[in-house]
Amino acid sequence: MLARWKALAGAALLVIAGNAVADTYPNKAVRWIVPYPPGGSTDILTRLVAQKMQEAWGQPVVIENRGGASGIIGVEAAAKSPPDGYTLLMTANGPHAINPTLFESLPYDPLKSFDQITLVAKLPMLLLAHPSVPASNVKELIAWIKSQPGATSYASIGNGTPSHLAMEMFKQMADLQLTHIPYKGSGPALAAALGGQETLIMFDSVLSSSGHVKAGKLKAIAVSTAERLPTMPEVPTVSESGLAGFDAYTWTAAVAPAGVPKDRLDKISKEMVRILNLPDVREKIAGQGAIPGGNSPKELTEFVGVEIAKWGKVVKAAKVRAQ
């Protein structure tokens, strides 16, 4: 009997000791990998949340930008890191939802290689047209494109990007003939659309393009998301304008290498959701032309699965391959 009580007491001490260790997290710097160069929307959103985490936890949250190869370099580095909660990844729909179909093989699996934490933000796009295009809404734009089959070209910020695939989705749903002209980034693609010679239409982020719309240099035909934007309530959605069910946007989400202890993962998730619901944070995210997130790990896991299927269907139908 005495031996049994000693064993039980020892087990209890181990549990208490384990909880004590867990309660100290984080007790050192947390590394947050961003699979893109500094300055982009993913990087800006990461730094916004990281600053608040650092203030709450009293430990540094260090941003590590590891861009390249459509986000694969940074995502792979995160996937191969120890699952201890001290390495996080701010991923996006490119690496997490588009790459699985775009590439024949990847050094990571978006769902199996990571513990999902929370959706940080959705970044809507605008369907844009040069002022010379004789259309002010989706139905008129579709009719104009169909009146000259194969004669209309559209710009994108790169092959396989959300900008490209959103237009492919639009093209497939409306049964259009369009020629894709990819550019290396938003700046060159917008310049082409603004010039109105090589390309006349495109999808691009609200953040990058809204200034040109306000200046009258481009027309905002519609918003890509299923709901209108609070910041541009006068612009209808593609879905309500004739292509019911159209819903396309970029997004960012926080994840961690698979296998993080549950108590740590819960702590990280709750802290991020708390931050994403702070009024000043929501205001700053909206200022980036984005919609704040803040869902649960389970909800994010389900969301990613739906996104992989959605974009996989578009990629396969358009026969897009990585370049």
CB 121 within 8 A of CB 287: no
Other Cβ atoms less than 10 A from the Cβ of 23: the count is: 10
| 60 three-state secondary structure | coil
Residue 176 tokens read as 């259009």
CB 209 within 8 A of CB 222: no
Residues in Cβ contact with 316 at an 8 Å cutoff, skipping those fewer than 6 apart: 101
Q: What is the pLDDT of residue 23?
A: 57
| 146 three-state secondary structure | helix
Domains of the chain, with CATH numbers? 14-123+249-318 (3.40.190.150), 124-241 (3.40.190.10)
CB 138 within 8 A of CB 219: no
Q: Which residue do the tokens 């700053």 mark? A: 284
Q: What is the pLDDT of residue 2?
A: 43
Q: Which secondary structure element, helix H or strand E, spans residue 51, and what is its range? A: helix 41-57
In angstroms, the CA 163 to CA 129 distance is 14
Q: What is the pLDDT of residue 231?
A: 87
In angstroms, the CA 266 to CA 270 distance is 6
CB 44 within 8 A of CB 13: no
Closest CA to 161 of 275, 250, 80, 292: 250
Q: Where are the beta strands (DSSP E) in 98-248?
A: 114-129, 153-156, 179-182, 201-205, 219-223
CB 35 within 8 A of CB 71: yes
Per residue of the chain (323 residues), give pLDDT as tens: 444 444 444 444 444 444 444 459 999 999 999 999 998 889 999 999 999 999 999 999 999 999 999 999 999 999 999 999 999 999 999 999 999 999 999 999 999 999 999 999 999 999 999 999 999 999 999 999 999 988 999 999 999 999 999 999 999 999 999 999 999 888 999 999 999 989 999 999 998 899 999 999 999 999 999 999 988 999 999 999 999 999 999 999 999 999 999 999 999 999 999 999 999 999 999 988 899 999 999 999 999 999 999 999 999 999 998 86
- Residues 121-140 as b/e (b if ≥16 CB within 10 A, e otherwise) read bbbbbbbbbbeebebeebeb
